Structures are given as structure tokens and as C-alpha cells.
Structure 1
Amino acid sequence: MTAPSPITRAHSFNSAAAQYAASRPSYPAALFDAVEDLAGRPLAGARVADIGAGTGIATALLRARGADVLAVEPGDGMAAQFRRALPDVPIVRGDGNHLPLADASLDFLTYAQSWHWTDQARSVPEALRVLRPGGALALWWNTSAVDVPWIDAQLKRIQGHFGIDQVVGTNGDGTHTALGEPTGLLDFARRRVRWSRRVPLDTHLANIGSRSVFLAHGKESAAAFLAEERRHLLAAFPDGTVEETYDVELLLATRP
């Protein structure tokens, strides 16, 4: 099986924006506590741009913390879903490699589940350009808790079906561990926040089916896997409710 290119995978979400919005996990309050702790300032009243905002999952939470949020999103389908969900939040088209933002205009620049799609040789200088002195670049990913036996087994089944490596499988779209900041301009602090949610089996299957590796390999391949996966999950969760456990991996760097 030929692996889809990173560009194909990055743009695959636009065809499944509604599914993404309905099934993807959110983020716990403890994550935003950690962001504020590492940054040394509150989100309330801060000027924030959420890059690769997608359907607005993180954007909505940042706004709920009192931030003044602007969203940046490159995809047509995701931007349309965002506007339906958050019609009063401004959204502009662009990506982390070419931010449509003014110099030194932001207190926080956030990437929820999206930094790995950038070219860091360009996105790091762009982050430094738009952040004010002392401003924070915050990157985070919901990653599957591989020490939970059923989750580890599922990731191995995904790996075998699609021919991907275990590292990519931890979040389905890329990997935070691939972060090799090439410019040497930033020093990231790290935090890990564990949380979980209980969802119906169909929501869980829609969630994993919204990952780029499923979308980019096509409907037939994804459907075959998900049909078989339903059988495995019913054996583990006979009541039809799945407890998903995540480790949110947070990296934060402050502009000098």
C-alpha cells in the first residue's frame, strides 16, 4: 500500500469537516492551566491567534478562558464548519508558514493538533515575527495513552492495516515527537496532561475514522478497518460505551 503524501493527508480533513467536529475529542481545563503556568500570564484578555484552527475545537476553549481570539485556517471545508460553529469569531485564511498577521501583534500563538503540518524552517520565524516580546508559542496534541492495553492493541491494528509506524499512530495525523526545531531559536518547555472521556462506540469509530491516515487512504480501506474494529471494541466494551484515554502533550516557548 502506497502511503499518501503529507500534503494529501493535511488536506484530507476538508472532506470530513462535519465528522471531525462531531467526533473529535476536546481538551481538558488542566491543559490551559498548564499553558498559563508555563507562559507566566493568563489567557484572559490576551490577544491569541489559533493556527490551523480547523472546526474551532481549541478556539472555542481559548475564548471561554477570556482570550481575544483570531483563527487562521487554510482549508475550505474546515473553515466553513468553523464559521457555522463560531460565527462571531474572526477567521482568516492562511497557514503557519505564511501568517496573515501583523508583526509583534500577539500574546499567544497556538497550534492545537496542527504544528506538525508546518515547515518549521518557516513557521518558527513566522511565530517570532508575530509574537510580542514575552509572547508564547504553545503547541499541543491529544495523543493516545499507549499504556492502556486496548488502546495499544488498536494502534497496532491501525499500524498493520495501513502500514504506518507506531509513532504516527499515536495521534493519527503526525507526531509531536518529530519536532526537531531546526532554527535553534526556541527553547520549549514540556508538560503532559492525562484525561479521558466516555463516548458511544459510533462516536469513537467516527473519531478514529476522521484521522488523516483513514481519510487519505480512501473510503473503502477505512470502511473495511472500521467494520472489523467494531467487533474488537464490542468485545472490550459490551455496553457500547468506549472510554478513550489521552495524554495531551504540550510544548511552549516564549519569545525573548
Structure 2
Amino acid sequence: MTTSPSDDHVRARARSFDAAAVLYGANRPGYPAELFDAVEELAGRPLDGARVADVGAGTGIASALLEARGARVVGVEPGDGMAAEFRRARPGIPLVRGDGDRLPLADGSVDLLTYAQAWHWTDPARSVPEARRVLRPGGALALWWNDLDVSVPWIDAQDRRVAALFSAEPGIAPRGLPAELPFTTREVRWSRRIPLDTHLANLASHSAFLVLGPGVAGEFFDAERALLLGRFPDGTVTEEYVTTLCLART
């Protein structure tokens, strides 16, 4: 039986990023160019010149990549720590404070509303009407997630160890897509070759580990480092990703 997380638990995990913003910004992966190609194709317009609001922008990883494609981006971020790191790392990109359930944006003001790794923190009963409100006619809502590719044996084995660690831990709400919006889904596969310590720091920046506490988390990562060094003695790993894009035009 699946256990539903309490509201307090979800809020604690959402707030956990603020104390780890530097860790998050330094070690989380970016997104491949093919993802933004797919966004343009499904949205029916180029990113160049588009008015884009990147919601749950965090440290600005997606915001910066959207801006590099020529989009006029504003980040929307609720967390104090994440917002501070966004402003430090991306001083040229405007940032406003808010979240997807209460967007601090004018009606019909954006061509594209993006959620990179962030839609699952919203309440769709609020975030869907807010998306409809701020998008111009013909605009698009784009949601995407990076997931390590569990078809790769060593990644699958690590995923099983993580699942065993959190066997009694209620998860965050699933990534359900609102049925009232006509989403189209695409998958993009890509990889990055990084030091083992970066891989472990990336894993440590996820909310489940951030609220776990240093003792148990430290033991887990010490064991992971030893195990993975046995498989990757040069201390370098290739993270294989599946990025899932879900886009709906209004």
C-alpha cells in the first residue's frame, strides 16, 4: 500500500533546499539542447524572443539555459536560500518571489511557463488555473524532469539501495498531469561524465536526503563511495539520464 505524505512532510522537504542551495547549484545536472529543441517544436514557436517564466527556478539552472536560447526569462522562486543563490549566480536574469500556486505575474503576460523539476511541488487545483491566467492565448505550459536511467545496471542497483534506505519514507506526490490540459510527452536521453564526488553530491542534494539527517545520510554516502570506487577506480562516472518533457498548449 502506498503511503501519502503529510502536508507538513511535503513542506519540510520543499524548504530543505534553502539550506543546500550552493550544493544544489554546483552539482545538479543541466539539460540537453535536444530538450529545448523539443520545447520549441511542441510549443510551435522559437524560444528566441519568447517571454518565459521559469517557475520553481531554484538556482537558475534552467533559467540560464532558456536565456541562452534567446528567451526573455524571469525566474519565479519561493525559497530564500535558492533565491539568494539564483541572484548570486545569475545576476542578469530577473527573479521574483512566488510559487506556482500564486504566480506574481500579470494576466496573459508570458508565452511559455516552465517547471524544471518543480511541478510536483504545486497543487494542480491552484497551479493549473494560475498557468491558464498568466499564459497568453496560444502559449504553452512545459514541465520536465531529469531522471537517472535505471536501464543502466549500476544506476538501477544504486536506485534499489536508495529505495531500501527510504522504505518507510513517504514520497512526494506523484507527477500526475492535469487531465484538463492536452499534454504531449517526449523523452530525451543524454549523459554527463563527472567525478564520483559530484555524482554523490548531486544525490545528496535531493530533498529526501536533505531531511534525513547527517548521521544516516553520511553512512549511506560513505558506503556508496566505497562501493562505486570499486566499480569506477578512476573516480569518474557517467550519469545516464532520461529527461521527460510534458507540454500543453493553451
Partner of 1:109: 113
Q: 2:175 aligns with which of 167, 175, 178?
A: 178
Q: Which residue identity does 1:244 align to in structure 2?
A: E
The aligned counterpart of 1:243 is 238
Specify the alignment match of 1:207 in structure 2. Answer: 202
Deviations 1:37-75 (A, max 9, x none): 011100000000000000000000000000000000000
* Aligned counterpart, 2:18: 14
5 Å matches for 1:64-79?
64-79=68-83
2:66 equivalent to 1:62: yes
Aligned to 2:89: 85
* Alignment partner of 1:234 out of 224, 229, 234: 229
| 1:114-162 Cα deviation digits (max 9, x unpaired) | 0000000100000000000110000000011010000010011011112
Equivalent residues of 1:142, 1:246 under 8 A apart: yes
* Distance change in 2, residues 1:31/1:164 (3 Å): farther
Could you tell me whether the CA contact under 8 Å between 1:159 and 1:165 is conserved in 2?
no
2:148 corresponds in structure 1 to 144
Once the two structures are TM-superposed, the CA of residue 185 in structure 1 deviates from its matched residue by 2.7
> Which of residues 32, 46, 50 is equivalent to 2:50?
46
Q: Which deviations, in whole Å up to 9, do the C-alpha atoms of 1:147-183 show, x marking residues without a partner?
A: 00000100110111122689x6xxxxx57x63141xx
SS of the residue aligned with 1:132?
strand
Taking the aligned partners of 1:252 and 1:127, their CA distance within structure 2 comes to 12
Q: CA deviation at 1:234?
A: 0.8
Separation in 1 of the partners of 2:10 and 2:167? 15
User: Does the aligned pair in 1 maintain the 2:57–2:75 contact within 8 Å?
Assistant: yes
Q: Secondary structure at the match of 1:71?
A: strand
TM-score normalised by the chain length of structure 2: 0.94
Q: Name whichever of 220-229 and 100-109 sits farther off.
A: 220-229
Percent identity for Structure 1 against Structure 2: 63
Matched residues in 1 for 2:92 and 2:45: separation?
Answer: 25
Residue 171 of structure 1 is matched in structure 2 by none
Alpha-carbon distance in 2 for matches of 1:108, 1:164 = 38
Matches within 5 A, 1:94-173: 94-163=98-167
For residue 211 of structure 2, give the secondary structure of its aligned residue in structure 1.
Answer: helix
Amino acid paired to 1:23: N
Report if aligned partners of 2:47, 2:71 keep a CA contact under 8 Å in 1: yes
Question: How far apart in 1 are the matches of 2:214 and 2:92?
Answer: 34
Deviations 1:188-246 (A, max 9, x none): 00000000000001111100000000001111121111000001111221110010000
Structure 2: distance between partners of 1:198 and 1:165: 30
Q: Distance in 1 between matches of 2:70 and 2:27?
A: 25
1:222 aligns to 2:217 (yes or no): yes
Q: What do residues 71-130 of structure 1 show as CA deviations (whole Å, max 9, x unaligned)?
A: 000000000000001112110110000000000010000000000000001000000000
CA distance in 2, matches of 1:147, 1:17: 30
Partner of 1:25: 29
User: Matched residue of 1:217: which SS?
Assistant: coil
Partners of 1:165 and 1:145 lie apart in 2 by 22
User: In 2 relative to 1, CA 147–164 (structure 1 residues): closer, same or farther, beyond 3 Å?
Assistant: farther
The answer for unaligned runs of 5 or more in structure 1 is 169-173
* Helix, strand or coil at the partner of 2:107: coil
Aligned residues: 244
Contact kept in structure 2, 1:139 and 1:252, CA below 8 Å? yes
